[in-house]
């Protein structure tokens, strides 16, 4: 069942929930302090996905020159496979329509790789031992600007 999420900028009040969500989703999650530092930098954006007022996902990006790096994206396990990850991706792409997007994803995360490929990303490289806990490589992916 698809859920329509409200996408809003993260606020100071969201920090603890963001860190809790990251802990549910990743073996090496961002801390509340990392979210706070990310939010404070003028080159970064964090958006929250909310369903019925409940924070159920987020996307964090950083802008570097003409490109945007998708630094972190997560959806609560209870809200997965409902289109929320795609809504967050589409939102981020819409905020920077003229920018190329880059990301790294765990090589074992087939669901995320499939989502990124369905959103126009292409695999462009690999970094050995990029992630820890457990150690594994990262697939590098890029989404080029769509020319009209």
Active-site residue, 104 included: yes
Active-site residue, 58 included: no
Coil, strand or helix: which one is 148?
coil
**Catalytic hit among 104, 131, 136, 144:** 104
| Non-local CB neighbours of 142 within 8 Å, separated by 6+ positions | 100, 101, 102, 121, 122, 124
Coil, strand or helix: which one is 68?
strand
**Catalytic hit among 116, 130, 135, 136:** 116
Whole-number Å distance between alpha carbons of 138 and 129: 7
Q: 118: closest CA among 129, 110, 126? A: 110
Alpha helices in the chain (DSSP H): 15-25, 32-40, 84-95, 110-118
Q: Are 127 and 96 in contact (CB under 8 A)?
A: no
Query: Would you please indicate which residues are annotated as catalytic (active-site) residues?
Result: 104, 116
């Amino acid at each position: 069942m698809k859920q329509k999420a409200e996408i809003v900028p993260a606020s100071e009040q969201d920090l603890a929930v963001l860190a809790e969500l990251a802990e549910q989703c990743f073996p090496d999650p961002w801390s509340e302090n990392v979210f706070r530092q990310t939010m404070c930098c003028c080159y970064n954006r964090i958006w929250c996905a909310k369903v019925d007022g409940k924070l159920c996902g987020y996307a964090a990006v950083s802008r570097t020159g003409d490109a945007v790096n998708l630094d972190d994206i997560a959806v609560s396990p209870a809200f997965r496979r409902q289109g929320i990850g795609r809504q967050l991706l589409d939102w981020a792409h819409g905020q920077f329509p003229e920018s190329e997007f880059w990301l790294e994803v765990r090589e074992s995360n087939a669901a995320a790789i499939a989502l990124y490929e369905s959103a126009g990303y292409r695999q462009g490289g690999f970094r050995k031992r990029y992630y820890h806990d457990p150690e594994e490589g990262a697939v590098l992916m890029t989404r080029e600007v769509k020319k009209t």
